[in-house]
Chain A
Amino acid sequence: MNNAATSWPKPEEVGAAMAKAVRRLPGAANRGGIEDVNVFDEVRKELAVLMGVSCPEQIALGCNSTWGLNEALFGWPLRKEDTVLATDAEHNAVLRPLYRLEQSGIRVVYVPADGTGRILPELWKDMVQKYRPKLCVLNHASNVTGAVNDAEAMCASAHACGAAFLLDMSQTLGCVPVRLEEWNVDMAAFTGHKYLLGPQGTGGLYVRPGIFLRPYMVGGTGIRSDLREMPDEMPVHLEAGTGNEPSYHGLLAALRWSRENPADKKAMIARMRRLADGLSGMGCRVIRPEEPCMPVLSFIIPGYTPEEAGDILTGSYDIICRTGLHCAPRLMKDIGMPQGTIRLSMSRFTSEKEIEKVLLAVTDLVESV
């Protein structure tokens, strides 16, 4: 029940592909010919379909979403006294780069979330108009409550005021439909190890054609080694150093598996509802955003700190959950849980039986206070 951190289990094909990859001859570092299979390009093609973009080469692949977000936030041409608009729902993967930007004279303004962790498009629009930011950053869905934000509307509001728009899809890609070109999104970061069902060490950044970022990380590219700067063309412009080839073989297997085995969204929603109803019914304080929502649920059990409850759920019942601030410290006051929450996050593989086991375990805790 900790899939919002890293999904588990993975399709069998993922591990098999990774094991095969470490035994085979490594890739050709951007120099391969027609007969070479470039796993990174194959992944880009699969991701382009999922993201709704027509230029796979605009997807730079790195080690995770944090990498992509750092490339975007530090690569975008911000100047002293420029404003960046973000939200209270952001993860530290966005917040900590923003805190660093503040040290260089960039002003950062945060849009508060509602009590369910959602950013209201009207409030976002008002704040964009008021602060006239150069760059707007939005978490597509809260990793704490699962509330999915209206990225299309908020991107339009940002563009209407001349701001660029960066979307953090860490939680959503693979679970929520995304149409980046249709929404006109400028940049979007993603990770492979959550709802894409791939391994850790995969993730990256989509950059809309026409946008030129100053690479945050620079280094070897295998090609154009006689240049002092990174090559201009994407994706190699942002891809310094040797990529994580075995893990990208795993991600490719996961993407292909997911395409052939679509998740049963209705069943997932029904299980989440059963979980939320059950927890509410026994007196837990549950954050319940309206749909659209990720299969993520935050709650607290009266009489226990989140950490105490989490320790018991894990130690006594083998229920792996996450407790605390979930790397989203600004959101806690908005949802009225300053000491953090217990977070349960399902995957497509979570069964009804597992939901019932969670409810039985929490019943024991509630009745033991």
Chain B
Amino acid sequence: MKFRCKKTENCFAGARTYEYELPVTGQELAGRLAGWEVKENHRFRRPVFSARKDGVEIKGILAAQVVKVNYTEENWEREKKGLERWLEETEV
């Protein structure tokens, strides 16, 4: 799938957080994350999800097409390349 990526910051110098705009919703993305620990919370007004694997976290609104990804400070470049390759290779 094609995506747009933008680095987003928080207060900490070590933050490695990126937003991805996808052609699928968070719900559809979560359904394809095999091997990830996926949690959904439907109690909130707009239900959310989070997915964790090897220190990388993907989270967002289930119905939205923008998700946030937190990479680890140590291996963020390798993790980012890996996730983006997987996104590119995943068919919509």
Contacts and interface: CB of A to CB of B under 8 A. Distances in A.
Interface stretch (B30-38, B59-67, B76-84): B59-67
B43 interface: yes
Q: Is the interface of B mostly helix, strand, loop or mixed?
A: loop
Interface string B38-58: 000101111110000000000
Interface in A307-332: 307, 311-312, 315-317, 323-327, 329
Contacts of A368: 41, 43-44
A367 B43 contact: yes
Contacts of B68: 311
A311 B57 CA distance: 13
B12 A324 contact: yes
A324 B13 CA distance: 12
- Best-surrounded residue of B12, B45, B60 (most CB of chain A within 10 A): B45
Nearest to A329: B11
Contacts of B59: 311
Size range of the interface on B? 10 to 19
Contacts of B64: 315
Given A311-B59, A324-B11, A317 B43 contact: no
A324 B17 CA distance: 14
Contact of A326 (B11, B41, B47): B11
A361 interface: yes
Contacts of A311: 59, 68
A277 interface: no
Contacts of B47: 316
A317 B43 CA distance: 12
A105 B65 CA distance: 52
Contacts of B61: 315-316
B43 A364 contact: yes
Interface string B1-30: 000000000111000000000000000000
Contact of B45 (A317, A323, A326, A329): A317
A15 interface: no
Contact of A317 (B12, B44, B60): B44
A300 to B, nearest CB: 14
Contact of B46 (A315, A324, A327): A315
Interface in A285-322: 307, 311-312, 315-317
A340 B15 CA distance: 14
Interface of A: 307, 311-312, 315-317, 323-327, 329, 340, 361, 364-365, 367-368
Given A312-B44, A324-B11, A324-B12, 15 more contacts: A307-B10, A315-B46, A315-B48, A315-B60, A315-B64, A316-B45, A316-B47, A316-B61, A325-B12, A327-B11, A361-B45, A364-B45, A365-B44, A368-B41, A368-B44
